[in-house]
Structure 1
Amino acid sequence: MKIEVEKNKEQIKIIPESEEDLWNLMLILKKGDYIYTKVFRDVSMKNSKRKERKPIDIKLKLENAEFQPLTGKLRIFGTIEEGPEQFGVKGRHQSGYISLGQEIIIERKEWDEKTLNKLKSSGPKGKALIIALDYDEYAISLITSLGVYNLESSSFYFSGKEDPNRENEIESALNDLVNRIIGYLSKERANVLIIAGPGNLKEILYDKIKKIVNNIKIIIDNVSNGGIAGINEVLRRDTIIEVLKEFSSIKAQEIVNEFMMLAAKDKEMIAYTLNEVYNVSKLGAISKLVILDKLIYSIDDKERTMAQEIIENAEKYRADVVIATEDSLVSPTLSNLGGVIAILRYKLPKKNY
């Protein structure tokens, strides 16, 4: 992310360059911030009853921000504080988008160094493409630091083993698959490709791709199934976790797995639900934290404030903090546990908090 602090020290100029930048921007934005940006709005034209959709420069008083994965956009909503007088837009509600490569100015009375450093250190942590295939089906998924997303999945329909056309059908299907994979690698700028499956199709696919692409890391892995089931199996493999451990989506899964193990044998080493985790965070007892992003920008002031204080307290005591999106694989588990879990540094009976 490109960031420049203006001379008055109340404004920062930002150009997000990756989805991770948009994600981090969403996390630092606060209700009441002012954003100078360009939006499209239907405005009345002079001496005319009709309206035209025009781009206008405005100063928006922020009410809410919403990250939209895989779109390259951050949706913002608020009230127009300043805008072109001839259009009479001041005081009107307005939604808009912050896109990759778009320059915006954010105004706040005071910017602390911690927030600025978080923005300055933002950037893409890598992407991986996974394909799991067998002779019946395949699936392609994308892993980013923000979550795991299914890009496409479908079935194969090959003739029987005795049919002379079978080999040609397989060859044609794999060639088509290679072209789509190459397209995804280019579009998403993935730097790791994982090819998995139970049979020899994965090796054939690997050989075809290797002839075309030589600037990314390719990993072959054995799993029991193709399709979505194969993707999920890949995500549980230690070898893959090692390669992708810097991605927060994978790290979140690791912490959730550890949490569930402790929940079964040592409940005094864990805390969950917003109230419990908030209380242990004030004691500096958190070692590892996973929290859903929806709590951080909740419309409920109390909920949002507690979530933000949990993160601040955890970071203060150097805990591992992972913020998971609602699209991540751990989201259902976290939701059932109140949206946030913590692994503690030491045993802490619940009566103590």
Structure 2
Amino acid sequence: MKSEWANHHIERLKRASETSEKPLIITAIDDEGYVIATTTQYGVKVKVEERMRLPGKLEAEKRSTAMNEQFKKALESLRQIWTANPSPIAIIGVGFIKNDFVKYVKNKAADVSKSIVDVKSVNNSGVAGIYEAMRSGVLSKAMKHLRIMEETEVVEEILKRLGKDEKNVTYGFDEVKKAAELGAVKKLVLADTMLRETSDEKRIQIEALMKEVERKGGRIIVVSTGHEAGAKLLALGGVAALLRFAQR
């Protein structure tokens, strides 16, 4: 019997666990305008696109006025999107205008600025710049932050429900397995060590559990034990689930 997961198991697990319900908000801004998009399961969705060309650097006063107007509009759009679904924000762009925009956001909207997790340079403007950033991996830091945030939120939700003695949550392999067989598992939450550091027999059981949850429309979230949320999940046995309906 193999002592490691087969490659196709690992790939399927990656696909199952990497889809984030919380999007990353990406704002691309430069002297040609701005675009705001959010990440989705299948790529990015453009929310706002505003094209404008700033006056040249020799027309300093006009350029400054136009830039402030652009920043004002961009911040209004960004705040609207962020307020609807508070999520991490990445600011990208050609040149230094993106850095000036970050300063503007910090001065005008401290609450929004706290969600800015990364500022990166790209070679292309607008939507092309966003696709470049996604393709090249320059947003890996922001995506990692997003992942940790989601993992923390799901573990805290489990602990909150357990603390209130609610019946729409369960933990421990046997109890989660029972819930999965009933089609009750909305989110299966696994510590990453359950996949790497376990016996062959347990691996087979976990694989069967994952298949059952997926087959009945549930989602799998793998939590890293490299941060606090993972340690909390391990204290529950490394396996827990948020349920669609209460179990008695």
Query: Which category of TM-score, normalised to the shorter sequence, fits these structures?
Result: 0.3 to 0.5
Task: Answer 1 or 2: which has greater helix percent.
Answer: 2
The structure number with the bigger radius of gyration is 1
Task: Answer 1 or 2: which has greater strand percent.
Answer: 1
TM-score, structure 1 as length reference:
0.34
Higher RCO (C-alpha under 8 Å, 6+ residues apart): 2
